[in-house]
Amino acid sequence: MSKLEEAFISVIVDRSAMAKIFQMADASNLVTELRRNFDAGVTRGYEWRVTQLKKLLVICDKHEPEIVSALHDDLGKPELESSVYEVALLRNSIKLALKQLKDWMAPHKAKTSLTTFPASAKIVSEPLGVVLVISAWNFPFSNSRIGRIIMTAAAKHLTPVSLELGGKSPVVIDSDTNLKITVRRIISGKWGCNNGQACISPDYILTTKEYAPKVIDALKKELEAFYGNNPMGSKDTSRIVNLNHFDRLSKMLEEKEVSNKIVYGGQKNRENLKISPTVLLDVPLDSLIMSEEIFGPLLPIVTLNNLEECFGVINSRPKPLAAYLFTKNHKLKKKFTKTVSAGGIVVNDTAVHFTLPTLPFGGVGESGIGSYHGKFSFDAFSHKKSVLFKSFLGDSAIRYPPYSRRKLGLLKTLVNSNLVDTFKVLLGLS
C-alpha cells in the first residue's frame, strides 16, 4: 500500500487521524515543499499525473467497503447512495481523466490575423500551482457566508478561487406533467441524496393552489412506498450530520406560523439525529425555512395563483445552485431555461446533471463562482497561456515612427483585417 493510500484510509477509518496529521505538520513548511516540487516540474508531466490518478483509482477499487462503512457509521448513509454517489462517480471521473488527459494537456491552435502575419498561435494549459481544496463533510461546498471569508482571505494574495456555495434550489411543478414520475424524482433528489443534506437538493416546491393538493397526495403515497409507515426506522435515509444541524432544522420547524403548516412527517429524534421526511404547505416567505438553505429533510410547498408567478418568486431571491422544472409544456421549458438564472437547470428530473462530466457544475452569484467536472475541472486549475510565434519576415515600417496619415490608415485596415481596404490604401485610393 502506498503512502497516499495509507493516509487516505487512516483518515476514513479513524477520523481523529486528520487532527493528528495537521498537528504534526507545519503548514508553512508543507506549502514551501509543495511549491518546491511544483517549481522543479515534478508534477507537470503527463506521466506523473497519470500515476496519481491510477493510485486514486486503486483506492476506490480496493477500499470501497471501508468508505461505505465509514459513511454509514458517520451519517447512517445507505450503501447504495455511498457506492453510487460517492465512489462510482469519483471512479468514473478518474477514468475519464485518464482517457482524456493527454488531449486536455495538449496545446490548441488559435487563429491569427493580418496584423500579426506571418505568425502562428496556440493556447497552452498551464497549471496554476499549489492549490488548497477545502471540502465539507458531505460533498465539496461551502455557503455564501463562508465563501466571503475565503474570498476575502484569498484577495489579499490575489489568489483565484472557485466557490461552490449551494443555495435554495426551487422545484416548479406544472399541472401538465406526469405526476407520479415527478414526485418520485423529487423524492430521489431530496431524501435520496443524503436525506436532503446535499447542495443541489430540492429546497422548495412552487405550484398552483389548484394543483398543490394533488402534489401533496402523490408525495405522501410515494414517500410511504419508499420509506414505509415508519420512516424514522427506515434504513434508506441518512441521519442529520450533528446536533448543531439537527437543532437548526428543528428551529425551522418550530418557528411560529410554520409548525402548523406540516402536512406530512415532522417526527424528530434528537438522540438518534433523525428527522423524518417532512412536507409543509404555504409557509410564510419570510420564515427561516424560506430564508435559509434548508439542507435537510424538510420540503416546503409554496402555492401560486398561476404558474407564471414562479418567475417572480425565483428571480426575487439569490441565484440558486440548481433550478428544477417538471412539465410537458415546451413553451414553459423554453421560458424557464431562458428566464431563470441558476448554476444549472434540469427539466423533468432533479440532481442528475451532477453526474454528467460533459456539463460544467458550479454556481452563479450567491451560489458560487467558477465550475468543474470533467474537462471543466482541468480548466478550473489551469491558466490558459497565450503563445504567439512571429517570423522575422514581413517586418513592415508602418508600425514604426515617424508616423504619418498613410501609416495610420494602413494600420487601421490591418487591425480591422479588411484586405480590400488595405489594398486601397496601398494603391492610394483611400
- pLDDT tens digits along 69-84: 988 888 888 899 889 8
Identify whether 126 is part of a domain: no
Identify whether 12 is part of a domain: yes
- pLDDT tens digits along 358-407: 999 999 999 999 999 999 999 999 999 999 999 898 888 888 999 898 88
Percent of the chain with pLDDT over 90: 69
Do 176 and 232 lie in a common domain? Answer: yes
Look at residue 174 in the predicted model and tell me its pLDDT: 98
**Residue 44 vs residue 419, higher pLDDT:** 44
Look at residue 140 in the predicted model and tell me its pLDDT: 33
- pLDDT tens digits along 141-160: 376 778 888 899 889 989 99
Strands 202-208 and 262-264: unpaired
Three-class secondary structure assignment of 315-359: HCCCCCCEEEEECCCHHHHHHHHHHCCCCEEEECCCCHHHHCCCC
Give the active site residue among 86, 164, 222, 293.
Answer: 164
Look at residue 11 in the predicted model and tell me its pLDDT: 46
Q: Looking at the predicted structure, is the pLDDT value of residue 429 above 80?
A: no
State the cell numbers at 159.
Answer: 489568489
Spatial CA neighbour of 322 closest among 227, 190, 216, 223: 190
Average pLDDT score over the chain:
89
Q: How many CB atoms lie within 10 A of CB 424?
A: 15
Do 347 and 212 lie in a common domain? Answer: yes
Identify whether 257 is part of a domain: yes
**Residue 5 vs residue 202, higher pLDDT:** 202
Do 420 and 337 lie in a common domain? Answer: no
- Is 60 tagged catalytic? no
State the cell numbers at 26.
Answer: 507545519
Identify whether 79 is part of a domain: yes
Identify whether 384 is part of a domain: no
Q: DSSP for 115-127, please give it.
A: TT-SEEEEEEEEE
Identify whether 379 is part of a domain: no
State the cell numbers at 137.
Answer: 463533510
**Residue 1 vs residue 195, higher pLDDT:** 195
Mean pLDDT of 103-120: 92
Q: Which of 6-20, 112-126, 207-221, 313-327 has the lowest mean pLDDT?
A: 6-20
CATH of the domain at 315: 3.40.309.10
Question: Rounded to an integer, what distance in angstroms lies between the CA atom of residue 416 and that of residue 113?
Answer: 9
- pLDDT tens digits along 317-360: 999 999 999 999 999 999 999 999 999 999 999 999 999 999 99
Identify whether 113 is part of a domain: no
Confidence band, pLDDT 50/70/90 cuts, at residue 421: low
Q: Looking at the predicted structure, is the pLDDT value of residue 426 above 70?
A: no
Identify whether 68 is part of a domain: yes
Angle (CA) 271-275-278 rounded to 5° is 160
Question: Rounded to an integer, what distance in angstroms lies between the CA atom of residue 339 and that of residue 327?
Answer: 16
State the cell numbers at 243.
Answer: 446536533
Do 403 and 358 lie in a common domain? Answer: no
Do 90 and 206 lie in a common domain? Answer: no
Q: Where in the sequence is the domain holding 335, given as residue range(s)?
A: 170-370
Torsion of CA 24, 27, 29, 33, to 10 degrees: 110
Q: How many CB atoms lie within 10 A of CB 209?
A: 11
Count of domains in the chain? 3
Question: Rounded to an integer, what distance in angstroms lies between the CA atom of residue 288 and that of residue 200?
Answer: 19
Do 202 and 74 lie in a common domain? Answer: no
Do 315 and 403 lie in a common domain? Answer: no
Q: Which of 213-227, 229-243, 264-278 has the lowest mean pLDDT?
A: 229-243
Do 44 and 192 lie in a common domain? Answer: no
Look at residue 290 in the predicted model and tell me its pLDDT: 97
Question: Rounded to an integer, what distance in angstroms lies between the CA atom of residue 167 and that of residue 320?
Answer: 5
Q: Looking at the predicted structure, is the pLDDT value of residue 10 above 70?
A: no
- Is 86 tagged catalytic? no
Percent of the chain with pLDDT over 70: 89
Q: Looking at the predicted structure, is the pLDDT value of residue 13 above 50?
A: no
For 414, counting Cβ atoms within 10 Å of its Cβ (0-12 exposed, 13-18 middle, 19+ buried), the class is buried
Look at residue 7 in the predicted model and tell me its pLDDT: 45
Do 415 and 298 lie in a common domain? Answer: no
Do 56 and 183 lie in a common domain? Answer: no
Torsion of CA 300, 304, 309, 310, to 10 degrees: 20
Q: Catalogue the E-assigned strands of 234-318.
A: 262-264, 268-269, 274-275, 278-281, 298-304
Give the active site residue among 81, 199, 222, 310.
Answer: 199
- pLDDT tens digits along 301-316: 999 999 999 999 999 9
Look at residue 111 in the predicted model and tell me its pLDDT: 95
